């Protein structure tokens, strides 16, 4: 399976670039945070979000849209605040995310490759998520477990760690900081994440697995095919 991972768009136009290469790859996974740009105007940001949703609707088997912490603020309300929030877009973005919520997921997985917005820290899993995991051992994959927990709005998913100004030791899959993730990632899984802005795509090896940090789009003068992260996975 040829996968293409797209970092946090934050209102940037990427749909046209994806369409140029969509026939050459099997899956396009978007890491979340489609809104709250500090540079893109409201009209363009809304259009670019709707373009990605349209891409998902027309290519449902190829496009995977993940939730990011900035999207959750508009979906669930001010208890989930993220910087860059635009009060004047509250109604528009809430309606868009709510009416299309079935098109988004918290996580995606192929074999031992896991995509979330911010990543899974081992300490967070043991201290905050294991009770839910133990209760739902029948899940077919870690991603399925996370997605079910999101459907249930399991509180630990929204944890914000000390590093990001929260009250927990480490953040959950929507808020995990790069320092938290790379210090103690959950073992046994490759992880592909956004959330942590980097100058260029970074690949970090830990416990015989790889962490790919792909949040680079806001650094790009022009979005192109080279702005994405490519990984071929044996999905047999």
Chain segment 47-85, per-residue pLDDT in tens: 999 999 999 999 999 999 999 999 999 999 888 888 888
Q: What is the pTM of this model?
A: 0.97
Residue showing tokens 């910087």: 83
Q: Give the model's pLDDT for residue 185.
A: 97
Whose CA is closest to 100, among 143, 46, 140, 170? 46
What is the distance in angstroms between the CA of the first residue and the CA of the last residue of the chain? 9
Would you tell me the crossing angle of helices 90-99 and 42-58 to the nearest 10 degrees?
0
Partnered with residue 94 across adjacent β-strands are none
pLDDT of residue 193: 98
- Residue spans per domain, the chain: 2-232
The topology under which CATH files domain 2-232 is Purple Acid Phosphatase; chain A, domain 2 (3.60.21)
The band of 196, judged by pLDDT with boundaries at 50, 70 and 90, is very high
């Amino acid at each position: 399976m040829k996968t293409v991972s797209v970092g946090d768009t934050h209102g940037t136009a990427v749909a046209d670039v994806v369409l140029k290469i969509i026939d050459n790859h099997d899956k396009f996974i978007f890491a979340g945070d489609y809104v709250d740009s500090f540079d893109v105007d409201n009209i363009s940001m809304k259009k670019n979000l709707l373009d990605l949703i349209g891409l998902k609707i027309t290519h449902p088997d190829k496009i995977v849209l993940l939730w990011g912490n900035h999207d959750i603020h508009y979906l669930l309300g001010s208890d989930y605040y993220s910087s860059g929030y635009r009060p004047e877009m509250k109604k528009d973005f809430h309606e868009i995310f709510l009416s299309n919520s079935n098109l988004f997921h918290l996580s995606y997985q192929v074999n031992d490759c896991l995509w979330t917005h911010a990543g899974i820290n081992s300490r967070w899993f043991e201290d905050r998520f294991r009770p839910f995991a133990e209760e739902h051992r029948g899940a077919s994959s870690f991603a399925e477990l996370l997605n079910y927990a999101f459907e249930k709005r399991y509180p630990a998913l929204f944890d914000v760690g000390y590093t990001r100004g929260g009250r927990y030791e480490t953040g959950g899959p929507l808020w995990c900081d790069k320092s938290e993730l790379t210090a103690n990632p959950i073992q046994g899984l490759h992880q592909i994440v956004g959330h942590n802005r980097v100058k260029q795509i970074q690949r970090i090896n830990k416990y015989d697995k790889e962490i790919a940090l792909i949040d680079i789009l806001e650094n790009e003068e022009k979005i192109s095919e080279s702005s994405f992260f490519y990984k071929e996975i044996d999905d047999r």
